[in-house]
Structure 1
Amino acid sequence: MSKPTRISVNSRAGALVDRLIADCERLRVIPSKGSRGETLIDAGAAAKGGLDAGLLLAEICLGGLGTVTLTPYLGMPNWPFHLTVRTSDPVIACLGSQYAGWSLAHGDFFALGSGPGRALACKEPLFHDLGYRDEADRATLVLEGDLPPPVEIVDKVAEDCGVAPDHLTFIYAPTRSLAGNVQVVARVLEVALHKVHELKFPLANVLDGVASAPMSPPHPDFITAMGRTNDAIIYGGFAHLFVTGPAAEARDLAAALPSTNSRDHGRPFAEIFKAFDFDFYKIDPMLFSPAVALVTAVDSGETFRAGRVSQDLLDASFG
């Protein structure tokens, strides 16, 4: 693994965490301290949270290396507001920080850790491919769920990240909440980058990226809420990547990226999930992609497109 770079996703995200705490009343989040001195921020469980909290939470997940905005999009009249994500360092922002890849479990507690703390612990094989390891004296993790982590998880994360427990921040929000819903849909670019990695396209050739997906309405039922956030990306997401290298490789990447290549494409995600007995690992992994991919080969100036939006499936999912 290469030596630490000068970019610290935890330091950059830490500045955004400080903003979240300082503006907690307006953003309707609840900060508190845990038994080890760790900072806990409820962004959507007992707290009401909201769209603004979700946008800031998404940028924290990106390690302070990306911008997330909510903008109108006239191409989908039934669902006219899209979350747009852009970053000039998509590999580190999306795969090195935002990706929910750190499995944290103790007793009845289970959560996937997302955010910059992953790049301090580097517990996932993915970091060997990224060649990136952060170096910072504070760490932040984001958890999709209703509960803060138990003390055993706090101790484990502090040890694995190499920071004192009172320099740890855990932000949690369930998918059914407004903030949780926003931060999940804002993974549209990360989903594209994860597929790029799975397709074994050279990550070093990915220069820049921008992506968008319709803001799905939240739902109090977990399966429905989770299905809607997946459908926003799978059936309504756009991703545009800018890459170096031969144009033929860019063309092949664009053709392989969209969710339309999956055998499971064609039904709302909640239906697919139920059909496979609520087992993610039985679902075709090719499904987890944006609906439409654009790849620009910057060396030749050519852009390649593939995939399609499925408005009818978005309508069926969103209600």
Structure 2
Amino acid sequence: MSLSLNRRAGEILDRMSEQVEALGISVSTLTNGARLVDFGVKAPGGLLAGKGLAEICLGGLGEVSFLPLHYGDVSLTGVSVAIDGPVLPCLGSQYAGWKIHRGKFFAMGSGPARALARTEELFETIRIQDTADSAVLVLESGRLPTEEVADYVAEKCGVKSDRVSLAVASTRSVAGAVQIAARSVETAMHKLLELDFDVTKALSGFGVCPIATPAADDMVAIGRTNDCVLYGSEVFLTISAADTEIETLIDKIPSCSSRDYGQLFGELFKRYDGDFYKIDPFLFSPAKITITNAVSGRTYRAGRFNAELLQSSLLG
């Protein structure tokens, strides 16, 4: 592709690296020359750091903003994301599908480096790849990665180690919570993919999601960030397809269609002994979905918010 996700993400990271004090981030160079940017492990980070991190995850192809969200009597800080041609930025970059496990370090990798490494089966379906001499990977982790991690990423991406940038934030950090909340459209797109819909028919996406309140540890934060998506996010997609295609899918997209819907994610996680893969994969979806067909002009809606669970999770 002529439009490089990694180059665009690298440009955002370059600009942010010149504003470390204002953004509450830290930038360092590992012994192998790789760039390490701490958005929320030891560095404090914040809302604006999280906004930049989310836009890096999208390969520079999405706009992220803040807004208040209201669920009955409950008001929460929220994130909106606007995306055109969502397959490339959402599934080709933002989706956290690359397992990074080197030594004692483990994290799920997202961002445009995935489109260079192409280690996931997903890329055989969406047929996306990037061409760049540098790689930008976003890691959700409570610890900072080592040179071994950077060397591994460089090898898989086909670039030199000193051309790797690793952006890291813990789940419980403010920046980490923001970048997760900015995944509303991505969750809808991935759900469509799981339902065997031709995702290349998606023309644009807009989504909103509340930002999880800070947590004392990452396990609590995992519960809160997932609750925000499952019970408080809303996505609007414009697609070009036959009405019958949408009619057969619309009720299957929102989280309430899952057998595991209806309890706090942290409690659900414990019920399955901390094994994500035992949880119904169809649960990971926005709370509400609206799809407008650009061909027929018809609009379809499904799903619902759950203010009670949101309040219990974030404000309890």
When normalised by structure 1's length, the TM-score is: 0.96
1:153, distance to aligned residue in structure 2 (A): 2.0
SS in 2 for 1:73: strand
Q: How many residues align?
A: 315
1:6 aligns with 2:2: yes
Output the CA distance in 1 between the equivalents of 2:152 and 2:8: 23
Task: Report deviation, 1:76.
Answer: 5.0
| Match of residue 200 from structure 2 | 204
CA separation of 1:76/1:54 partners in 2, compared to 1, >3 Å: closer, same or farther? farther
How far apart are 1:179 and its partner, in Å? 0.5
Q: Report the aligned-residue RMSD.
A: 1.1
Q: 1:23 aligns with which of 4, 19, 22?
A: 19
Mapped contact 1:121–1:162 kept (Cα < 8 A) = yes
Are residue 63 (structure 1) and residue 59 (structure 2) matched?
yes
Aligned residue for 2:224, secondary structure, equals: helix
2:93–2:113: 8 Å Cα contact kept in structure 1?
yes
* Superposed counterparts of 1:181-200, under 5 Å: 181-200=177-196
TM-score, structure 2 normalization: 0.97
Partner of 1:243: 239
Structure 2 CA distance, aligned partners of 1:108 and 1:216?
27
Of the candidates 156, 163, 167, which is equivalent to residue 152 of structure 2? 156
**Within the alignment, does 1:98 sit opposite 2:117 as a pair?**
no
Aligned position for 1:274: 270
SS in 1 for 2:40: coil
Question: What is the identity, as a one-letter code, of the residue corresponding to 2:57?
Answer: C
- Does residue 88 in structure 1 map to residue 84 in structure 2? yes
Q: Distance in 2 between matches of 1:31 and 1:290?
A: 34
**Partner Cα distance (2:307, 2:12) in 1:** 35
Residues 33-80 of structure 1 show CA distances to partners (whole Å, capped at 9, x for unaligned) of: 001000001111110100000011000000000011111234554233
Aligned to 2:216: 220
**Partner of residue 74 from structure 2, selected from 71, 74, 78:** 78
After superposition, the Cα gap between the structure-2 partners of 1:91 and 1:282, relative to the gap in structure 1 and judged at 3 Å, is same
What is the distance in 2 between the residues matched to 1:218 and 1:188?
Answer: 19
Whole-Å Cα distance in 2 between the matches of residues 101 and 74 of structure 1?
31
8 A contact 1:79–1:214 mirrored in 2:
no
- Aligned residues with identical type, % of pairs: 46
- 1:231 counterpart (216, 227, 231): 227
| Aligned mates of 2:241, 2:173 — CA distance in 1 | 41
Tell me the distance in 1 between the aligned counterparts of 2:170 and 2:69.
Answer: 26
> C-alpha separation between the residues in 2 aligned to 1:283 and 1:80?
27
Gaps of 5+ in 2: none
- Structure 1 unaligned runs (5+)? none
Q: What's the CA shift for 1:29?
A: 0.2
* 2:132 match: secondary structure: coil
Deviates more, 1:183-192 or 1:45-54: 183-192
| Aligned-partner Cα distance in 2 for 1:77–1:54 | 26
1:175 counterpart = 2:171: yes
Q: Indicate yes or no: 2:141 matched with 1:139.
A: no
DSSP-derived class of the 1:192 partner = helix
